[in-house]
Amino acid sequence: MRRQEGPSRRSRCPLNASLEVFGDSWSLMIVRDLMLRGARTFNEFLDGGEGIATNILTNRLQRLAAEGILIKARSTADHRKYLYRLTEKGIDLAPVLAEMIVWGARYEDTDAPPAVIREMELHPEEFLSQVRKQWKNRRSEPGG
Amino acid sequence: MRRQEGPSRRSRCPLNASLEVFGDSWSLMIVRDLMLRGARTFNEFLDGGEGIATNILTNRLQRLAAEGILIKARSTADHRKYLYRLTEKGIDLAPVLAEMIVWGARYEDTDAPPAVIREMELHPEEFLSQVRKQWKNRRSEPGG
DNA sequence: CCGGATCCGTTTCGATACTG
DNA sequence: CAGTATCGAAACGGATCCGG
């Protein structure tokens, strides 16, 4: 019970607040898998995130849920499954994600498709609106 | 000798590459102190970053220097001092920083001046050009 | 099978004291 | 001023086990 929330104990700076929420290696990967790769179940995160352990994944999903970035709910189609989806707060991480992807693609050695990166870089607002549009449609839980 | 570089061992995704470089609590705080708060010496980071320990600060400065995000050099004015400054690669983290600050200011409880945040949010390219302009002038090492 | 929980060895972090 | 050295605490990561 070490990590209780409380309205940002002493880190008033916005950057610190953000870092407290997703300032680790895994949280943003989970958000990316959710946002850009269509991952929705525990095991889809396990595959997509580069080798995260199950206990760490559980921990991060709980933290992100506690922060209101994602929501966990039982699948209506398959009752054994849980489905995770982004909240508005989580979707609004898209610009952060996009800038990190653009920077990584520019300066590190990656295999990112240049077209997608250029799209993110040159038309960020279109990228964001596409993400939003996809998440509008996803309410209907297709293929759950 | 655990952390040797190598051209991104297996993390080809740009996001993973970025997270490997600055995916921890402190690295981006240091970049922010450098970029937005004018910190340039070890002790200025110690004050600005919210209570970072000296060994951690040393470690992060070394890592960031090894990644080519900042450069450490002796002050020409005061030969006892070392001055840290951002490289182009480091300055290009400004958009990432800005988006994280905007998100944190929107969703977490912070004391950020709204005007600055709105400026970052509505005119990101102006914010970026201001940062760049400031770093042009900083070559002359004023007050070192 | 799905979604975890638990155990345990290893790694990293972080506070403080100390040094050139 | 700019870091090392030390050492306990915490986080990580792999493997395994468990409930539905």
Torsion sign over Cα A92, B39, A102, B134? positive
Whether nucleic acid strand D comes within 7 Å of the CB of B87, the answer is: no
Chain A residues at the B interface, defined by Cβ less than 8 Å, are 7-8, 10-21, 23-25, 28-29, 32, 50, 89, 92-93, 95-112, 117
User: What is the identity of the amino acid at A56?
Assistant: I
Please report, to the nearest 10 degrees, the dihedral formed by the alpha carbons of residues B130, B132, B134, B136 taken in order. -140
Distance CA B112, CA A12 (A): 7
- As given in the structure block, the two tokens for residue A34 are 């959710």
* Per-residue confidence (pLDDT) for residue A12, from 0 to 100: 84
C-alpha span between B17 and A104 (Å, rounded): 6
| Residue for token pair 């400031």 | B134
B19 confidence band (pLDDT: 50, 70, 90)? very high
Residue in A8, A15, A101 closest to B100 by CB: A15
Looking at A50-54, A122-126, B53-57, B138-142, which range is the least confident one?
B138-142
Residue B11: pLDDT band (50, 70, 90) is low
**Chosen from B18, B56, B88 to mutate, greatest number of chain A CBs within 10 A:** B18
Report whether pLDDT(B37) > 90: yes
d(CA B45, CA B33): 7
**Residue A17 structure tokens:** 């607040």
* B31 pLDDT higher than 70: yes
**Among A75, A72, A76, residue whose Cα is nearest residue A61:** A72
Q: Which residues touch strand C (CB under 7 A)?
A: A 41-43, 54-55, 58, 61, 72, 80-83; B 2-3, 24-26, 51-56, 59
Domain A14-139 in CATH 1.10.10.10? The answer is yes
Query: Token pair for residue A15?
Result: 């950057």
Please report which confidence band the pLDDT of residue B1 belongs to, taking 50, 70 and 90 as the band edges: very low
pLDDT of residue B10 exceeding 60, the answer is no
Residues 6+ apart with CB under 8 A from B43: none
Say if residue A18's pLDDT is above 50.
yes
**pLDDT at position A14, please?**
96
Tell me the whole-structure pTM to 2 decimals. Answer: 0.90
CA angle A16, A20, A23 (to 5 degrees): 95
- State the smallest CA–CA distance between residue B15 and chain A in angstroms: 5
Q: How confident is the model at residue A38 (pLDDT cuts 50, 70, 90)?
A: very high
Q: Give the pLDDT mean for A91-96.
A: 97
Mean pLDDT of chain B: 90
Query: Which whole number is the average pLDDT over A114-121?
Result: 94
Task: Give chain A positions within 8 Å (CB) of B101.
Answer: 14-15, 18
Residue A52's Cβ-count burial label (10 Å; 0-12, 13-18, 19+) is: buried
**Alpha carbon distance A49, A39 (integer Å):** 10
Instruction: Estimate in Å the CA B55 to C1' D4 gap, whole number.
Output: 8
Give the model confidence (pLDDT) of B61-87 as tens digits.
999 999 999 999 999 999 889 999 999
pLDDT at A79: 86
Contact B17, A109 (CB under 8 A): yes
Mean pLDDT value of segment A118-128: 93
By the 8 A CB rule, do A18 and B101 touch?
yes
Spatial contact of A34 and A40, defined as CB atoms under 8 Å apart: yes
To the nearest whole Å, the CA of A78 is away from the closest chain B CA by 32
Residue B25 pLDDT > 90 = yes
